[in-house]
Structure 1
Amino acid sequence: MAELPDEDVLVLPPMPLATGRLLEPEDDGPPVRITRLEVVISTEDGGELRIPLVHRHGAWWAP
């Protein structure tokens, strides 16, 4: 694979990407507790990369 410039490489910021522990369902049901949150990256060659986020200090962070 050819070398890519650093500015073109995906970097997740050192900040929370989401907050909260509950998810409201699309119907009228009660909120459900989130147990796992991921960033899903799809590539042009059909590949997929899943990056699980880490729950710390009330927010979801990149590992």
Structure 2
Amino acid sequence: MAEPPGDDVLVVPPIPLASGNMLEPEGDGPPVRITTVEVVISTEDGSELRIPLVHRHGAWWAP
């Protein structure tokens, strides 16, 4: 059986992390439709991990 992650391991909670379908651009202009929301994680060694969120029930959730 796998051990649960330790206290220092990043865990994304099972709650919506954002809501909405439109984003107001900087400056003038009409709102634009959001197609992708991601959590970007950068590590001290320069690596980057992108976690795309899933759109369900009007909100953006962790996969």
Query: When the two structures are superposed, what TM-score results if normalisation uses the length of structure 1?
Result: 0.91
Identity %, equivalent residues: 81
Q: Which runs of 5+ in 2 are unaligned?
A: none
CA distance in structure 1 between the partners assigned to 2:50 and 2:18 by the alignment? 16
Partner residue in 2 for 1:6: 6
Q: Tell me the matched-pair count.
A: 59
CA distance in structure 1 between the partners assigned to 2:7 and 2:32 by the alignment? 38
Per the TM alignment, residue 28 of structure 1 is displaced from its structure 2 partner at its CA by 1.1
CA distance in structure 2 between the partners assigned to 1:24 and 1:7 by the alignment? 37
Query: When the two structures are superposed, what TM-score results if normalisation uses the length of structure 2?
Result: 0.91
Runs ≥4 residues deviating over 6 A: none
| Secondary structure in structure 2 of the residue aligned to 1:8 | coil
Q: 1 or 2, which has the higher helix percentage?
A: 1
1:10-63 CA deviation, whole Å, 9 max, x = no partner? 000000000000000001110000000000000000000000000000000000
Query: Counterparts of 1:7-46 in structure 2 under 5 Å?
Result: 7-46=7-46
Q: Which runs of 5+ in 1 are unaligned?
A: none
